[in-house]
Amino acid sequence: MSKTYRSVKLILGDQLNMAHPWFDNVDEETLFVMMEVRSETDYVKHHIQKVVAIFKAMRTFAEDLRNKGHHVHYISITDKENRPTISTNLERICQKYIVKELHYQLPDEYRVDQEMKKLQTTLDIPFLEIDTYHFLTTREEFGEYFKGKKSYLMENFYRNMRLKHNILLDSANKPIGGKWNFDHENRKKVPKNHALVPVPLTGKNVSEIVNEIQQAQVKTIGSISANEFSWTTSRSEALALLEDFVASALPLFGTLQDAMTEQHWYLYHSRLSFALNVKLIGPLEVIQRVERAYHENSGMYELNQIEGFIRQILGWREYMRGVYWTHMPDYATLNFFENRRALPSWYWTGNTKMNCLKHAISQSLEHAYAHHIQRLMVTGNFALLAGIHPDEVDDWYLGIYIDAFQWVEITNTRGMSQFADGGIVGSKPYVSSAAYINKMSDYCAGCHYSFDKKIGGKACPFNSLYWNFFDEHSEKLRSNPRLGMMINVWNKMPNEDREAILTQAAKYLDQIETL
Ligand code: FAD
Ligand code: DLZ
Ligand code: SF4
């Protein structure tokens, strides 16, 4: 006789929030279901570290639930009864047990949201959908906030969030320090002779999971050190990482937030994105911990470090989620510049003579991580200047980064970085010549190319491609108030200089595979 469950509750791999009301009380008639499933491992080719981190975090979460007395049905990747999709696994569970209701938390990705909606039309039991209680805004709130406005502006949204959650405000509800935003103080490169002291890594052994993933023949990219895996995969590890970050990296976070260096792969960044995105830790608890550090340690932290960090989570992270749910599914097809070129094969190997790209790509393959400015101003910048199809750019970002989930990946990539949304996320495309990369990094000194040359065999490709971009898209960009000046500079250049630059750019685009 099959066992009866009043409810079966699905927990996805990015829904590992132990503070969710589902887990408040143990209920003998509730069965939690978690699954390592091919539809999720295979919708894009993921970095091996991303798959390992998700499986390890899921298994630890399941164990913690069992230790609290909950009933958990966990389907591992090598389980003989495992089915290829979330739906088919749930159908099997509903055949195996007598299930009265199926409950699930709102999925963060449109693909899975649709799958769950479709399943409700075929599986003949009541479904109940519930919030994840992780984000600080609902799916709809963003659209409501900007209703009737011509365009979005992150800064307005962010100020509203500061007020709503009472973050970094004085008793009159004004921003402490007299300003909402300290970004202009956060654009420094790593000073010469600065001895970097990033948060130390703690490793653990994950070889068992790596072996199972290989046994199941899941196709992955990148490399892994299975006996010193350092991504946080439990709540206690995430809390410890937050404490380490606050103690040692936060004092310099803002100042060096945009800096890039060959010396280190995460500098003073927190590496909290994975833990946040799989919900091991909540955005408000991270923000409040950082704010508390500021108030309790007078003189240790300058406001620009604190505000700069909080803005990323309270502002950008929630803003991106709002854009995603307001504009999907159309968002995934936008291609404002009508870019068509294929992604160069060296994005998958790091095998290029351009030192900035070699470095950012190699570290991504080695660590499943690059910090924001590497993603935006090196790999993203080049892809946009070279006219790569946004689908290919999205697949690369979605696969390679430990923290890549479509709601935050696509809005950052297709939106902020590639401007394929024509200005929904941001008001201008993030493009630069070598001057910016040279200003913010130490990459150019050791490069095959010369950052200060536009023409010739050793001229940095970013330089001619930058002007080529303005030439090619001048019609689409002319009316943009933030870009008109660059278009004027281009138009005023002597004709022979413009021709030489365009010829150089065309040559580089022809030889893109060997750059
Ligand atoms: P820190 O620099 O320490 O920042 C703290 C936190 O702020 C991060 O953990 C993250 O939760 C949040 N944050 C910072 N910037 C952003 C942003 N632009 N959007 C949303 N949240 C932000 N972030 C992802 O979480 N997943 C992605 O798939 C992703 N793809 C990106 C693709 C591109 C092209 C670009 C330009 C950025 C992308 N980002 C993405 C945003 C950002 O680069 C990462 O959140 C950050 O690098 C993660 O490292 P960290 O935890 O050390 O961040
Ligand atoms: C990213 C990912 C991967 C690689 N594997 C799984 C998995 O096997 N099981 C699972 O529940 N979730 C996985 N995830 C995360 C999901 O893609 C994520 O939960 C959904 O897309 C909803 O955002
Ligand atoms: Fe990158 Fe150009 Fe600098 Fe080389 S010279 S590191 S290609 S910006």
Per-residue pLDDT tens digits for 480-489: 888 888 999 9
Average of per-residue pLDDT across 443-454: 97
The domains found in the chain, sorted by start residue, are 7-130 (3.40.50.620), 141-198+249-327 (1.25.40.80), 345-514 (1.10.579.10)
The pLDDT-based confidence of 141 (bands split at 50, 70, 90) is: very high
* Amino acid letter, residue 493: M
Question: 167-180 pLDDT, tens per residue?
Answer: 999 999 999 999 99
Residue nearest to atom 20 of ligand 1 (CA): 317
Can you list the alpha helix ranges (DSSP code H) found in 345-459?
Answer: 355-367, 372-374, 381-385, 390-400, 406-410, 434-440
Express as a percent the part of the chain with pLDDT over 90. 91
Cross-strand bridge partners of residue 33? 10, 73
Ligand nearest to the CA of 441: 3
Q: Which residues line ligand 3 (CB under 6 A)?
A: 354-356, 434, 437-438, 443-444, 447, 449, 451, 460, 462
Q: Which ligand 1 atom is at minimum distance from the Cα of 380? A: 34
Half-sphere exposure of 444 toward its Cβ, with a 13 Å CA cutoff? Answer: 20
Cross-strand bridge partners of residue 8? 31, 102
Handedness of CA 474, 477, 483, 484 (dihedral sign): positive
The pLDDT-based confidence of 156 (bands split at 50, 70, 90) is: very high
What lies within 8 Å, CB to CB, of 11 at 6+ separation is: 32, 33, 34, 61, 105
**Which pLDDT score is estimated for 298?**
80
pLDDT > 90? residue 346: yes
The C-alpha atoms of residue 368 and residue 55 are separated, in whole angstroms, by 15
pLDDT > 80? residue 399: yes
**Which pLDDT score is estimated for 408?**
98
The C-alpha atoms of residue 295 and residue 282 are separated, in whole angstroms, by 20
Mean pLDDT of the chain: 96
pLDDT > 80? residue 49: yes
**Which pLDDT score is estimated for 509?**
98
CB 446 within 8 A of CB 457: no
The helix (run of H) or strand (run of E) holding residue 8 is strand 4-10
The C-alpha atoms of residue 198 and residue 352 are separated, in whole angstroms, by 28
Ligand nearest to the CA of 433: 3
Question: 128-137 pLDDT, tens per residue?
Answer: 999 999 999 9
Ligand nearest to the CA of 238: 1
Pairing, β 4-10 against β 71-75: unpaired
Q: How far is the CA of 404 from the centre of ligand 1 (A)?
A: 9
The helix (run of H) or strand (run of E) holding residue 296 is helix 283-296
> In this predicted model, which residue has the larger pLDDT, 1 or 381?
381
**Which pLDDT score is estimated for 183?**
85
Sheet holding 4-10, edge to edge: 71-75, 30-35, 4-10, 98-105, 127-130
**Which pLDDT score is estimated for 328?**
97
Can you list the alpha helix ranges (DSSP code H) found in 376-493?
Answer: 381-385, 390-400, 406-410, 434-440, 461-472, 474-477, 484-492
Ligand nearest to the CA of 443: 3
Q: Which residues line ligand 2 (CB under 6 A)?
A: 12-14, 35-37, 40-41, 46, 51, 54, 107-109, 112, 405
Residue nearest to atom 2 of ligand 3 (CA): 460
pLDDT > 90? residue 347: yes
**Which pLDDT score is estimated for 198?**
85
pLDDT > 80? residue 1: no
**Which pLDDT score is estimated for 299?**
85
Express as a percent the part of the chain with pLDDT over 70. 100
Secondary structure of 108-170 as H, E, C letters: CCHHHHHHHHHHHHHCCCCEEEECCCCCCCCCCHHHHHCCCCCCCCHHHHHHHHHHHHCCCEC
Question: 303-340 pLDDT, tens per residue?
Answer: 998 999 999 999 999 999 999 999 999 999 999 999 99
Q: How far is the CA of 503 from the centre of ligand 3 (A)?
A: 19
Picking from 93, 97, 116, 90, the residue whose alpha carbon sits closest to that of residue 105 is: 116
**Which pLDDT score is estimated for 490?**
94
Angle in degrees, 0-180, between the axes of helices 48-67 and 207-215, rounded to the nearest 10? 110
> Structure pTM?
0.97
Site of tokens 């406001």? 303
Question: 246-303 pLDDT, tens per residue?
Answer: 999 999 998 899 999 999 999 999 999 999 999 999 999 999 999 999 999 988 899 9
Q: How far is the CA of 426 from the centre of ligand 1 (A)?
A: 15
Residue nearest to atom 8 of ligand 3 (CA): 434
**Which pLDDT score is estimated for 478?**
86
Q: How far is the CA of 451 from the centre of ligand 3 (A)?
A: 6
CB 53 within 8 A of CB 231: yes
The C-alpha atoms of residue 150 and residue 260 are separated, in whole angstroms, by 35
Residue nearest to atom 10 of ligand 2 (CA): 13
CB 47 within 8 A of CB 221: yes
Helix (H, G, I), strand (E, B) or coil at 63: helix
CB 369 within 8 A of CB 199: no
pLDDT > 90? residue 2: no
**Which pLDDT score is estimated for 421?**
96
**Which pLDDT score is estimated for 168?**
97
